[in-house]
Amino acid sequence: MGRSAGILYLLLALAALCLPWLGIYPVFLMKLLCFAMFACAYNLLLGYGRMLSFGHAAFFGFAAYVTSWLVTAHGAGPAAAILSGAAVAALLGAVFGGLAIRRHGIYFAMITLALGQLVYFVCLEAPFTGGENGLQGVPRGTLLGLLPLRSDLVMYYLVLAVFVAVFLFIRRVVHSPFGHVLRAIRENETRAISLGYDINRYKLLAFVLSAALSGLAGSLNALVLGFATLSDVQQSASGEVILMTLLGGTGTFFGPVVGAAIVITLQEYLSDLVGGWVTAIIGVIFVACVLSFRRGIVGELEALRVRRAVSRAAGARAAGTDRLTTR
């Protein structure tokens, strides 16, 4: 971690600690953090593995159902319910990932889309999901018998802690030998194979990790809002997480967080202004993003910084050679 980046993250963490005291609605902040977590998990797959999944809502939404069902029907505690949600998402990810990595690129996208739709129909028709209504009135409970999560503030700090842990974990994964191999596969699959890597194992592990963390985000989100509904497993939710990642910057650490913040804020406040046009506006952002800033906001900023540094270095070098030649 660079020194300036470290300071920036520290400031951001401080700001996140203070935000609920500044009069910002904590539930909104928690929802934002959950989706930021979801986008970061998604980015692990798209940004570092270049696998475009169109079915990630399945992990987010199904985990939300599992958590809500365990809490409402079996009286499970929040910790157990959240972890079970993430575990089921990981399992689902192992199955879907195992199928999807048999094909590449666009086929991968279409397969994940179809499998995601499968989960949607299962959630629509399975006996434990409450059909069109979803599962409502999920109590937050008391974390490990100590922390009463009913208080928005306590819940907020829990979500923030989990988010920071997930964020740092993803950083760690990307910088680990595993992350390096994953990026090598992204850049040149054939070469990675010829270097002796079992690329399918790496891709599958990345998929499972991403699914598990998406599930964690979904489970937390269900506890925050107190319900799990079909809109979390819908294809449009998969589209939203792609947009968040793309808009913020795929393959950057902080990009997905920025993207999630923008999309969630837009949805929350834009819908008052423009009503039902939100879907169309999101579509326009998608198109604009693909056409004009494919690196995303954070990615473009980083590219700008690199360009500046390079030109400054080149300028310094040019000045140096000037002095040499005039002497």
Applying the rule CB under 8 A, the residues between 101 and 120 that interact with other proteins are 102-103, 105-107, 109-111, 113-115, 117-118
Q: Which of 199, 270, 278, 301 binds other proteins (CB under 8 A)?
A: 278
- Residues 292, 284: contact at Cβ < 8 Å? no
Task: Please tell me whether residue 121 binds other proteins under the rule CB under 8 A.
Answer: yes
The window from 148-156, 235-243, 259-267, 301-309 that contacts other proteins (CB under 8 A) reads 235-243
The continuous run of DSSP H or E covering 148 comes out as strand 147-148
Tokens of 79: 């910790």
Could you tell me the smallest distance in angstroms from the CB atom of residue 288 to other proteins? 8
CB 137 within 8 Å of CB 72: yes
Of 295-324, binders to other proteins (CB under 8 A) are none
For 224, counting Cβ atoms within 10 Å of its Cβ (0-12 exposed, 13-18 middle, 19+ buried), the class is buried
User: By C-beta, is 285 or 301 nearer to other proteins?
Assistant: 285
245: amino acid identity, one letter: T
**For other proteins, which residue of 138, 159, 223, 242 counts as binding (CB under 8 A)?**
242
Q: Which one among 275, 323, 325, 326 touches other proteins, defined by CB under 8 A?
A: 275
Distance CA 219, CA 168 (A): 19
277 touches other proteins (CB under 8 A):
yes
Does the footprint of other proteins cover residue 276 (CB under 8 A)?
Answer: yes
Query: Using CA of residue 57, residue 63, residue 67, residue 73, what is the dihedral sign?
Result: positive
Please state, in angstroms and as integers, the Cα–Cα distance from residue 168 to each residue in 9, 111, 268, following that order: 11, 30, 27
Size of the site for other proteins (CB under 8 A): 41
Dig out the tokens for 320 from the structure: 């140096």
Question: In the complex, what is the shortest distance from the CB of residue 291 to other proteins, in angstroms, rounded to a whole number?
Answer: 6
- Which residues are at the interface with other proteins (CB under 8 A)? 52, 99, 102-103, 105-107, 109-111, 113-115, 117-118, 121-122, 124-125, 235-236, 239, 242, 246, 275-287, 289-291, 294
